[in-house]
Each structure stands twice: as structure tokens, then as C-alpha cells.
């Protein structure tokens, strides 16, 4: 029977000849089929992934040089472009639209022999925390189908959680990889801003967006990151350094870790999650690491700053969906152009996206610009400065990923403010551009998993991954 543990173990079996890429693809296709009710996938590339598996099997048997991700079965979030494949950002405005080019991340995956099995459901244009804002309907959490998987990359998270792919890609603008990873009990990593090219990633808020990785272990995330990171002539914000080697050896380092006191004492934090993080810091101290609580007075400003800046960027980014250039258009063309735009955008976008476009237009409007947009930028600048100071003294920061565990579908829809506020622990990394990861270390008495979030200095993915490997190996609580 096919059993997947990690990339190395799988590839070892491939090269020994005990399994084939086709065995793996058949396994995942049947799992996807078995779990269709979870609604994790919006497209399944069955014919093509079988063909690719066969050609990879031939390549390996002929003794040709194989790529680093040889035979790895991966799923993409429906915002990551793959040439000649449907891409819709789970929105009616792009339904039936085919990518005319591949994102750099996809190009790199293919160059290293990965197999793309399909693309995954998400919140429309990556806006949301529950995967309920999708034109394809909600995604279900495989641990409890009545509950949400988190969002916006809910489908990609469930693909890994339910064993429908080995790893998957999502995007994280304010927590959309780390939060669903927390809700689903898997690893979710957002690299530093500028680590992975955004070329071919459908834009939500360009100064925040970053492709992220879901996996069942830290080693797999490191391997995928090594392949898809690195400079790219199509994205000038990418760190121009050569992509690093993230392979993880054995680790006996002692770390100096900070804990945000104000975050830990925040009223929204579930007491079991709080206890989990405090117990973890105590265990770390007992093992010779240093964990210190430090103040973080700006905690209550980060969610407002995030929503002001990201909606502003979204209102500009989404102006391209006008029904003229591509995507859905309202064909009743006997009216003037303005009415045509209004009808196309009014019918094409869902409620949450329209709300954010309006909010973003408002904060950018003359008369309100300084009161909202400029102020939020000031908060962002202060955060960046403070963060640089913190990492002069510490190797890493430890935080909860989300203040609560996964909740019932429909519950938060009635209270959008509460939903936005639940992003309190994840948006900080996107505002400052630092890397973050959610590690599945805990289980709540309500039966759902929850994670610990680790953050390190900008472009220090190596420390993030090394420390994460150690935490997942030695400090998992269930």
C-alpha cells in the first residue's frame, strides 16, 4: 500500500524501484475522488498528471538526471497561474479563464520534476479566513466537516491535511497559509516578503502577498522552498541573493526566543492556547533555551493597519477586472460604458471582495487619505523599525497562530469584525515582511488542533526552519 512520510523517504523508494510516480499519482487521484465532499479541489489534472508520472518514471529508469522534486505530487491554490490551465481566484469574474503563462513558482516546480495534480479552492481573491467566500462553495475541515478549514488557502490546506497531495502551495497576505495550517493541524510556512517571486500570483495586496507552503513536516517545506525561491527577472521585489540551501541537519543549538507579552495577554486568546504556548516556553527554558517576554504595545493597531493598507492595494489591483480585457463580462451591451463596468463588476465580484474594494477606495480618497492610509503606513514603519531592534537581541519570536481553534461554518459570517480581529497574530509578519510558520504542536480539549507560530528576522528562513524542525521533533504535544 502506498504510504507517504516525507519527500526523502518517497524518493528513496522511487530510486530503489519499490514504487513508481504513477503509483503515487493513482493513490492521490483516488484519495481526491474519495474526499470530493471536502470541496478542496476546483480542478483535477488527472490525465495529465498520469502522463507526467509515466514520463518521469521512464526518465528515472533511463538513468537521466532527476530534479530535486522528482515525482512530488503537489496542489496549487487557485491564485497561482499555470499556463493553459484554468485560474479563477475562486471568483465568478475569472471563471473559465485560462492562464496564458505560468508563475515563476510553477516553472521552477516543473523544472525540478514535480507533478501538479490540480488547483485548490480558496476564498475569492484570497480575501477571507474561512474559505466560505468562494464561488465554488465552502471547503470542509477534514477533521470535522461542520467546521471551517481556515482561509484563504483552505483548499490547499485540506489537500495536505486529508492526504490528497504530498505538499501544496497557498498564498499568505495576512495569514492565509499559517491560519489554515493551524486549523487543519499541518505545517504552513510564509517566507519573507521577496523570497518567492510573485510573478504569476494573482495580486491581492502586492506589498504583502507571498506564496507559502503547506506540508506535513518541516523538511518537506524546506525542500520545496529551496526550489521555488530565488531571484526572478519578472519580480523586482525578490531578494536578489542566490537561493539558499535550506537542508536541515541535526540541531543542538540553543535559541534566544522572545514572546510578546501583550499578545499573550490579549483578551481574544483562548486560555488553552495560551497555556499551550506558555508550557512550550517553559519546556524550552528547561532545555536550556532562553525565552523572554517583551512588550509589544502596538498589538491593537496591527489589524486596523493591515486592513487599511491591504484594502487600499486591493482596490487598485482589482481595477483590472473590468470586463473589457479578460474574464467575465456582462454581455448586455446596449448601455454606456460606466453602466457596463458597474454591471460586470457588480455581478462578477462577491460580497467580501466588493466590501474591500469600497473600503480601499475610501481610505485612498482625498480628504481621508491622511487620516487612514498615511496613518496606517506610519504604523507599518514603526513596526518595521521595532522588529529590526527585536532581532538584534533574539533569534526568533514565538506566538500563537490564531486566538481560537477552527469554528463551525457560518458562525463568523455574522460578525465580520470579529473575523478580522482573529488575524491578530498573523498580520504582523506580513506588515513587516518577516517569515513565519505555523507548527502543529497541540490539540485542544475540543478535539481540534492548534499551532505555535515561529517568526524570525527578514530573510532568515534558515533559522526559522531549523528551529521549527527542532520544535516539531521534540515538543509535539499529542
Determine the interface stretch with ligand GLN among 46-54, 66-74, 120-128, 324-332 (rule: CB under 6 A).
120-128
Of 239, 151, 245, the closest CA to residue 193 belongs to 239
Nearby residues of 249 by Cβ (< 8 Å), 6 or more positions away: none
Of positions 71, 154, 174, 348, contacts ligand GLN by CB under 6 A: 174
Print the binding letters for residues 285-314 with ligand GLN: x by CB under 6 A, - otherwise.
-------------------------x----
Candidate list 88, 152, 281, 315, residue with the active-site label: 152
Of positions 11, 102, 134, 173, contacts ligand GLN by CB under 6 A: 173
d(CA 339, CA 92): 19
Residue 372 CB, nearest approach to ligand GLN (Å): 17
Reply yes or no on whether 176 is catalytic: yes
The 8-class DSSP code of residue 165 comes to S
Write down how long the chain is: 478
- Is residue 129 involved in binding ligand GLN (CB under 6 A)? yes
- Is residue 363 involved in binding ligand GLN (CB under 6 A)? no
Residues 374-403 that bind ligand GLN (CB under 6 A): none
Nearer to ligand GLN, 257 or 318 (CB): 318
- Is residue 220 involved in binding ligand GLN (CB under 6 A)? no
Cα distance from N-terminal residue to C-terminal residue, the chain: 26
Cβ proximity of 208 and 430 under 8 Å? yes
Residues 310-349 that bind ligand GLN (CB under 6 A): 310
Residue 128 CB, nearest approach to ligand GLN (Å): 5
Quote the cell numbers at residue 99.
492562464
Residue 334 CB, nearest approach to ligand GLN (Å): 37
Candidate list 77, 108, 147, 216, residue with the active-site label: 77
- Is residue 432 involved in binding ligand GLN (CB under 6 A)? no
- Is residue 438 involved in binding ligand GLN (CB under 6 A)? no
DSSP for 356-418?
A: HHHHHHHHTSTTTHIIIIIHHHHHHHHHHHHHHHHHHH-SEEEEES-SS---BTTTGGG-HHH
Q: Determine the residue with CB nearest ligand GLN.
A: 176
Of 369, 391, 249, 382, the closest CA to residue 309 belongs to 369
Of positions 113, 423, 461, 466, contacts ligand GLN by CB under 6 A: 423
SS3 115: strand
- Is residue 175 involved in binding ligand GLN (CB under 6 A)? yes
- Is residue 176 involved in binding ligand GLN (CB under 6 A)? yes
Q: Give me the residues paired with residue 86 across strands.
A: 98
Q: Please state, in angstroms and as integers, the Cα–Cα distance from residue 467 to each residue in 10, 35, 471, 475, following that order.
A: 24, 34, 6, 11
Nearer to ligand GLN, 309 or 454 (CB): 309
Residue 358 CB, nearest approach to ligand GLN (Å): 15
d(CA 211, CA 169): 7
Sheet holding 256-260, edge to edge: 41-44, 115-120, 73-77, 167-171, 211-215, 187-190, 436-443, 449-456, 396-400, 256-260, 290-294
Residue count at the site for ligand GLN (CB under 6 A)?
Answer: 14
Candidate list 49, 102, 134, 176, residue with the active-site label: 176
d(CA 460, CA 451): 21
Nearer to ligand GLN, 180 or 449 (CB): 180
- Is residue 204 involved in binding ligand GLN (CB under 6 A)? yes
- Is residue 424 involved in binding ligand GLN (CB under 6 A)? no
Nearer to ligand GLN, 180 or 469 (CB): 180
Of 164, 163, 160, the closest CA to residue 189 belongs to 160
Query: Residue numbers of the site for ligand GLN (CB under 6 A)?
Result: 126-129, 152, 171-176, 204, 310, 423
Q: Which residues are catalytic?
A: 77, 152, 176
Amino acid at each position: 500500500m502506498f504510504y507517504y512520510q516525507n519527500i526523502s523517504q518517497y524518493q528513496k523508494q522511487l530510486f530503489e524501484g519499490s514504487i513508481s510516480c504513477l503509483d503515487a499519482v493513482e493513490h492521490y487521484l483516488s484519495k481526491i475522488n474519495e474526499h470530493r465532499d471536502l470541496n478542496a479541489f476546483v480542478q483535477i489534472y488527472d490525465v495529465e498528471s498520469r502522463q507526467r508520472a509515466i514520463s518521469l518514471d521512464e526518465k528515472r529508469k533511463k538513468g537521466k538526471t532527476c530534479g530535486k522534486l522528482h515525482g512530488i505530487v503537489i496542489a496549487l491554490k487557485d491564485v497561482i497561474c499555470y499556463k493553459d490551465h484554468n485560474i479563477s481566484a475562486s471568483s465568478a469574474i475569472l471563471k473559465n479563464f485560462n492562464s496564458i503563462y505560468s508563475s515563476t513558482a510553477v516553472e521552477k516546480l516543473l523544472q525540478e520534476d514535480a507533478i501538479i495534480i490540480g488547483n485548490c479552492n480558496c476564498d475569492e481573491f484570497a480575501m477571507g479566513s474561512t474559505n466560505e467566500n468562494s464561488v465554488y462553495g465552502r471547503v470542509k475541515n477534514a477533521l470535522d466537516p461542520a467546521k471551517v478549514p481556515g482561509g484563504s488557502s483552505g483548499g490547499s490546506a485540506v489537500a495536505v491535511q486529508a492526504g490528497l497531495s504530498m505538499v501544496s502551495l497557498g498564498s499568505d497576505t495576512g495569514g492565509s497559509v499559517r491560519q489554515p495550517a493551524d486549523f487543519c493541524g499541518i505545517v504552513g510556512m510564509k517566507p519573507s516578503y521577496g523570497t518567492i517571486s510573485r510573478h504569476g500570483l494573482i495580486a491581492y495586496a502586492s506589498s504583502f502577498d507571498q506564496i507559502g507552503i503547506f506540508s506535513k513536516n518541516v523538511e518537506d517545506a524546506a525542500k520545496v522552498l529551496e526550489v521555488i525561491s530565488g531571484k526572478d527577472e519578472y519580480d523586482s521585489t525578490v531578494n536578489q541573493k542566490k537561493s539558499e540551501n535550506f537542508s536541515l541537519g541535526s540541531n543542538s543549538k540553543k535559541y534566544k526566543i522572545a514572546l510578546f507579552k501583550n499578545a499573550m495577554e490579549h483578551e481574544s486568546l483562548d486560555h488553552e492556547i495560551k497555556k499551550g504556548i506558555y508550557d512550550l516556553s517553559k519546556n524550552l527554558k528547561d532545555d536550556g533555551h532562553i525565552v523572554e517576554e517583551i512588550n509589544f504595545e502596538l498589538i491593537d493597531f496591527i489589524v486596523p493597519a493591515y486592513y487599511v493598507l491591504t484594502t487600499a492595494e486591493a482596490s487598485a489591483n482589482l481595477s483590472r477586472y473590468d470586463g473589457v480585457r479578460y474574464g467575465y463580462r456582462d454581455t448586455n451591451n446596449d448601455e454606456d460604458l460606466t453602466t457596463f463596468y458597474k454591471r460586470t463588476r457588480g455581478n462578477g465580484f462577491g460580497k467580501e471582495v466588493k466590501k474591500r474594494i469600497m473600503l480601499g477606495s475610501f481610505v485612498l480618497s482625498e480628504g481621508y487619505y491622511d487620516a487612514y492610509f498615511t496613518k496606517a503606513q506610519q504604523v507599518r514603519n514603526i513596526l518595521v523599525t521595532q522588529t529590526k531592534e527585536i532581532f538584534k537581541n533574539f533569534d526568533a519570536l514565538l506566538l500563537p497562530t490564531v486566538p481560537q481553534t477552527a469554528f463551525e461554518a457560518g458562525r463568523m459570517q455574522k460578525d465580520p469584525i470579529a473575523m478580522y480581529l482573529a488575524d491578530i497574530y498573523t498580520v504582523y509578519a506580513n506588515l513587516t515582511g518577516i517569515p513565519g510558520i505555523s507548527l502543529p504542536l497541540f490539540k485542544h480539549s475540543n478535539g481540534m488542533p492548534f499551532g505555535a507560530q515561529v517568526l524570525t528576522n527578514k530573510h532568515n528562513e534558515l533559522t526559522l526552519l531549523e528551529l521549527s524542525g527542532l520544535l516539531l521533533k521534540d515538543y509535539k504535544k499529542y
